[in-house]
Amino acid sequence: MKLLAGNSNHTLAQAVANHLDLPLTKAQVKRFADNEVWVTIDENVRGEDVFVLQSTSYPANDHLMELLICIDALKRASARRITAVMPYFGYARQDRKTGGRTPISAKLVANLITRAGADRVLTMDLHSGQIQGFFDIPTDNLLAAPLMAQDIKENYEKPSELMIVSPDVGGVVRALAVASRLNADLAIVDKRRTGPGKSEVANIIGDVVGRRLIMFDDIADSAGTLCSAAKSLIDAGAVEVSAYVTHGVLSGAATERVKNSVLKELVITDSIEASEQVLGETKIRTVTCAPLVGEAIRRIANEESVSKLFD
């Protein structure tokens, strides 16, 4: 098999390659003067099982086009099977019509990837599970819960005495997966969204008084929701609040917002390449998902079960 990396996350791609003891495929992913994407595969891929690692993070449209053109180049170079490895699937939050005359962009992106020639998709912690049904090709959705639960065990004393918190009703299943692995209690923040990136806490379900809390979510973009939820939990009597988030988008003033919040720490994975601002913030810590992604790639290449990774 071969592993090809786009420009979205070279650090993760190299870590996955190291885990697999496999060199990255030689390729050029560049731009013309007018910013058109130009791709050349510099080694033979005929009959190969090729995995293209590319998160569609900021700038989302550029990285999406890179992925599509890489897939097309591999298809025309007679690769046997092409798997789009997208640790972070952009546009995932646009998975339904939220009002009249609005798109379902996640479905459109799924169509683009399929039409470009991908035979399979490998991603991690989709914003909603039904996005797997948007693809007409096999789709594996890796879960970060075991990764996060292991990190909590290693960095927190008496993890069973912690309380795991879902920052909204929609993330209960995700938070419950972590809580069950730690044998910890679960609380839920009843959040009402007032606009894109804006929300307010209406209620807290569960007794958080005197408890050490860990919020668990899939995406932190502006981090406003996360920080306001943490403040509400402290106001409700919690001793301390930390947060574990799979995809640290952290756009705009998010890093500054986390720094000035009541959060003890924010732990993210490297599904999105961290900016210098994120790397320089002591409150934000990164856990690598390279072994998880690498092992899933190995299992797919060897036609082994991926779901057994989470048993």
Is residue 174 annotated as involved in ligand binding? no
> Using an 8 Å Cβ cutoff, are 307 and 139 in contact?
no
Give me the residue label for tokens 């990285």: 63
Is residue 157 annotated as involved in ligand binding? no
pLDDT of residue 203: 86
pLDDT by residue (tens digit) across 147-192?
A: 999 999 999 999 989 999 998 888 899 999 999 999 999 999 987 7
The dihedrals phi and psi of 280, each to the nearest 5 degrees, come to -85, -5
Written as six digits, the tokens of 55 are 């998160």
Pairing of strands 185-195, 198-205: antiparallel
The angle, 0 to 180 degrees and rounded to 10, between the axes of the packed helices 145-155 and 172-182 is 50
Q: What is the mean pLDDT of the chain?
A: 94
pLDDT of residue 98: 87
- Residue 258's SS3 state is helix
Share of the chain above pLDDT 70, in %: 96
Q: Hey, what domains does the chain have and what are their CATH numbers? A: 2-142 (3.40.50.2020), 145-288 (3.40.50.2020)
Is residue 207 annotated as involved in ligand binding? no
- Give the span between the Cα atoms of 89 and 87, in whole angstroms: 6
More confident residue, 103 or 194: 103
- Please say if the pLDDT value at position 196 is more than 70: no
Q: Which is the catalytic residue, given 158, 191, 259, 264? A: 191
> Using an 8 Å Cβ cutoff, are 117 and 75 in contact?
yes
**Known catalytic membership, residue 191:** yes
- Give the span between the Cα atoms of 44 and 181, in whole angstroms: 44
Is residue 111 annotated as involved in ligand binding? no
Is residue 247 annotated as involved in ligand binding? no
Is residue 229 annotated as involved in ligand binding? no
Q: What value, to the nearest 5°, has the Cα angle with vertex 214 and ends 209 and 220?
A: 130
- pLDDT band of residue 198 (cuts 50, 70, 90) is low
- Please say if the pLDDT value at position 268 is more than 90: yes
- Give the span between the Cα atoms of 110 and 139, in whole angstroms: 10
- Please say if the pLDDT value at position 274 is more than 90: yes
- Please say if the pLDDT value at position 63 is more than 70: yes
Summarize the confidence of residues 70-79 as an average pLDDT: 98
Cis status of the peptide bond prior to 167, with omega within 30 of 0: no
pLDDT by residue (tens digit) across 83-112?
A: 999 999 999 999 999 899 999 999 999 999
